[in-house]
Amino acid sequence: MRIVLVEDNPRVTEVVEAALRGAGHVVQAARTRAEAAALFGQESFDLAIFDIGLPDGSGLDLCRSVRAQGLDLSILVLTARTDVSDRVDGLDAGADDYLGKPFSVAELLARVRALGRRGPHWSESVRAYDGLKIDRDRRVVTVDGEPAALTPREFEIVCLLAWRDGRVASRDEILEMVWGDATEGGAASLEVLVARIRRKLARPGRGEVIRTARQAGYAWALPLSKRS
């Protein structure tokens, strides 16, 4: 998974970052809410780990901001505040799980695995774009009301890109999330699937559905309709 860690204690950051990378995750670290906000504006993540006490504000406010923006990721809160009321505040702010300090690395990794199994925290299940509609729950994409004959992997690629609102997903990231493995063979298959998706979702006069970011990856190209 791609994980953002927001923690101002250098020692905790070092330990957590090493544990997560050792478990095969891609980690970006930030010390403050401002640094985290900049990362969220540049990249997409599957999981966020927030400390509550940050130099420029509360991690709970950052949690609320992420949820208000509709970013699709799970959130784990790390904090030395372990009273029931504090845990309730964290969950009410939009966190998916809560881990008190001090904690064991083994428990942290177990919580991360559990959140990974839940999948992304999707803010909505249906999106519409100029004659094209994606329904995640029904696993259907329609073009002008007619179902598009997407394979399961094509559907997952469409959802992964569409719910990122134009932000680029790297080829390796797509391969890891859809295939579970970033291999050379998978990269070749990805190019073929993207070409097929473009063909299946094409509509005269609408423009491209997926744009290629040269040497970077792919991004969803259509703006959301005002009404779904």
Residue pLDDT, tens place only, 101-157 = 888 999 999 888 888 766 555 556 788 998 899 998 788 999 999 999 888 889 889
Q: Give the CATH class of 2-118.
A: alpha beta
pLDDT of residue 199: 92
Residue whose tokens read 């950052």 = 62
Q: Is the pLDDT of residue 159 over 60?
A: yes
DSSP label of 223: P
Residue 86 makes CB contacts below 8 A (sequence gap 6+) with: 52, 79
58 vs 2, 26, 44, 105, CA distance in Å? 23, 25, 22, 24
Residue ranges of the chain that CATH labels 3.40.50.2300: 2-118
What would be the CATH architecture of the domain defined by 126-220?
A: Orthogonal Bundle (1.10)
Share in percent of the chain as helix, strand, coil (round to 5): 40, 25, 35
pLDDT in tens, 56-107: 988 888 888 888 877 778 889 988 776 767 677 777 888 888 888 888 999 9
Q: Is 113 helix (H, G, I), strand (E, B) or coil?
A: helix
Q: What is the model's pLDDT at position 181?
A: 56
For CATH 1.10.10.10, the residue range(s) in the chain are 126-220
Task: Give yes or no for residue 210 having a pLDDT over 80.
Answer: yes
pLDDT of residue 228: 45
Q: Which residue has the higher pLDDT, 153 or 15?
A: 15
3-state DSSP assignment of residue 107 = helix
User: Among residues 214, 162, 209, 15, which one has the least CA distance to residue 101?
Assistant: 15
Per-residue pLDDT, 175: 80
Tokens of 186: 């998978």
Beta-carbon contacts of residue 136 (< 8 Å; ≥ 6 apart): 122, 125, 126, 159
- Dump pLDDT digits (tens) for 160-207: 899 887 888 888 878 877 766 555 566 678 888 999 999 999 888 888
The CA R_g of the chain, rounded to the nearest whole Å, is 19
3-class DSSP assignment, residue 167: coil
Averaged over 6-25, what is the pLDDT? Answer: 92
- Report pLDDT for 177: 72
pTM score above 0.85: no
